[in-house]
Amino acid sequence: MALIVQKYGGTSVGTPERIKNVARRVLETQQAGNQVVAVVSAMSGVTDNLLKLAHEVSSPEHPPTEREIDVLLATGEQQTIALTAMAINALGGKAVSLTGAQAGIQTDGVHTKARIADITPTEVHEMLDAGHIVILAGFQGQTRDGLITTLGRGGSDLTAIAMAGAIKADLCQIFTDVDGVYTCDPRVVPVAQKIDVISYDEMLEMASSGSKVMQSRSVEFAKKFGVRFEVRNSMNNNPGTLVKEEEPGMESVVVRGVSIERNQAKITIDDVPDRPGIASRIFGAINKANIVVDMIVQNVSWEAETDISFTCSAADLPKAEAELRKVLAELGPHASFRSQAGIAKLSIVGIGMRSHSGVAARMFGALSNAGINIQMISTSEIKTAVTVNESEIEQAAKVVHTAFGLDKA
């Protein structure tokens, strides 16, 4: 008998009919001889409706407090757990619902993006031992003082992975609307293949490079606590992608996947003094404006002045430009900047890169052969990323995918 945690997102439980489907799948998992905890999200649309109401009773000068937003939003998952438990009971199963608080999920007090501090799954164990399926509310917890909190984006994945760790589940299954993690987005590279096994670090690099199957946060949590999990499709029975700790054999694959991120922009600040404090002043200003900076490149300078480039989302470009204009005077007498939207990022990810040489060269060669110009280059231990013109990103992904032997046979 295995102990399995499953997670179903808002789309999978978006209608009464879909809740019944989830109920069937959960019940089948138990009937196959397992103990099951199913984590569910709010029905799709519910959270948005609640936020709309919140804004209707508030005002721009007095936006809703985060404490009350959490009290409000937590009702979405609470509704789904009750409905899912009912649906399982209607099929003749035995299910009980538990809110985050009832399941012993204790968080810090940072409303709307709380962190899980501790899990005391007494009630979960008792219910499982009594033969029940436990339907657990994702996305929510309770502070030590009994305040209702929510975990922010990707919170239900986090609930599933954290609970799987706390109850030492044999398997954690994250059900979503794709079959798993792919070597590249199949809409861009039709010959992309589903990845059977991927390490936490590779999954993290893929996520941060645009493959948004899961939030990095949940993967980081899983890595920290050694929770293996599988990303699967809730609409079929295909095997998914297993995300786990690194193992020796995994390095034999040089590149696990190719990830693309569109709608990027780059800014180059020219002729800034090559001395301490300059980068800090630039990115301090950018950060204060809540702009997420992705790649940062500064070349070795042989002169008194140097150039710094960075990328951000194209949507943030006007804000970034405005911030830079404010600090430009502080960046030395010759400083100026240029910007360009319409670029995209291409990354190759694989722990095999650590032990194989010539990986970057092979990537650059493939792009060169296709006549695609590389604008910026940034590397980490298990990732090499470049930016290209957005118009060339699909072709770039295809040729790199082929160059590393990732195409479906």
Among 57, 130, 300, 409, binds a copy of itself (CB under 8 A): 57
Q: How far is the CB of 21 from a copy of itself (least distance, A)?
A: 11
With b for 16 or more beta-carbon neighbours within 10 A and e for fewer, the 111-136 pattern comes to bbbbebeebebebbbebbeeebbbbb
Q: Which of 37, 85, 114, 192 binds a copy of itself (CB under 8 A)?
A: 85
Q: Which of 5, 38, 69, 163 binds a copy of itself (CB under 8 A)?
A: 69
Closest approach, Cβ 17 to a copy of itself, in A, equals: 8
Q: How many residues bind a copy of itself (CB under 8 A)?
A: 44
Q: Which of 11, 79, 193, 263 binds a copy of itself (CB under 8 A)?
A: 79
Site mask for a copy of itself (CB under 8 A), range 18-47, x = bound = -xx--x------------------------
Determine if 54 is a binding residue for a copy of itself (CB under 8 A): yes
Considering beta carbons, is residue 36 or 396 the nearer one to a copy of itself? Answer: 36
* 81 lies in the site for a copy of itself, by CB under 8 A: yes
Which candidate, 357, 369, 358, places its Cα nearest to that of 398? 369
Question: How far out from the chain centre does Cα 182 lie?
Answer: 14
Binding residues for substrate are 47, 77
65 binds a copy of itself (CB under 8 A): yes
Instruction: Extract the annotated binding site.
Output: 7-10, 47, 77, 176-177, 182, 187, 212-213
d(CA 397, CA 399): 6
Q: Identify the residue among 68, 270, 274, 307 touching a copy of itself (CB under 8 A).
A: 68
- Give the shortest CB-33-to-a copy of itself separation in angstroms: 23
**Nearest by Cα to 241 from 209, 217, 210, 206:** 206
User: For a copy of itself, what does the binding mask look like between residues 147 and 186, x meaning CB under 8 A?
Assistant: xx--------------------------------------
Closer CB to a copy of itself, 59 or 290, in the complex: 59
- In this complex, which beta carbon is closest to a copy of itself, that of residue 28 or of residue 246? 28
Residue ranges in 385-404 that form contacts with a copy of itself under rule CB under 8 A: none
Of residues 298-327, which lie at the interface with a copy of itself (CB under 8 A)? none
The residue from 87, 272, 285, 363 that contacts a copy of itself (CB under 8 A) is: 87
User: Three-state SS string across the chain, please?
Assistant: CCEEEEEECCCCCCCHHHHHHHHHHHHHHHHCCCEEEEEECCCCCHHHHHHHHHHHHCCCCCCCCHHHHHHHHHHHHHHHHHHHHHHHHHCCCCEEEECCCCCCEEECCCCCCCCEEEECCHHHHHHHHCCCEEEEECCEEECCCCCEEECCCCHHHHHHHHHHHHCCCCEEEEEECCCCCECCCCCCCCCCCECCEEEHHHHHHHHHCCCCCCCHHHHHHHHHHCCCEEEEECCCCCCCEEEECCCHHHHHCCCCEEEEEEEEEEEEEEEEECCCCHHHHHHHHHHHCCCCEEEEEECCCCCCEEEEEEEEEHHHHHHHHHHHHHHHHHHCCCCEEEEEEEEEEEEEECHHHHCCCCHHHHHHHHHHHCCCCCCEEEEECCEEEEEEEHHHHHHHHHHHHHHCCCCCC
Stretch that binds a copy of itself, among 4-12, 83-91, 248-256, 381-389 (CB under 8 A): 83-91
Verify binding: residue 123, a copy of itself, rule CB under 8 A.
yes
What residue has token string 């032990």? 355
Contact call for residue 119 and a copy of itself (CB under 8 A): no
64 scored as a contact of a copy of itself (CB under 8 A): yes
Among 47, 78, 211, 384, binds a copy of itself (CB under 8 A): 78
128 binds a copy of itself, rule: CB under 8 A: no
Site for a copy of itself, rule CB under 8 A: 16, 19-20, 23, 50, 53-54, 56-59, 61-62, 64-65, 67-69, 71-72, 74-75, 78-79, 81-87, 89-92, 96-97, 99, 101-102, 123, 146-148
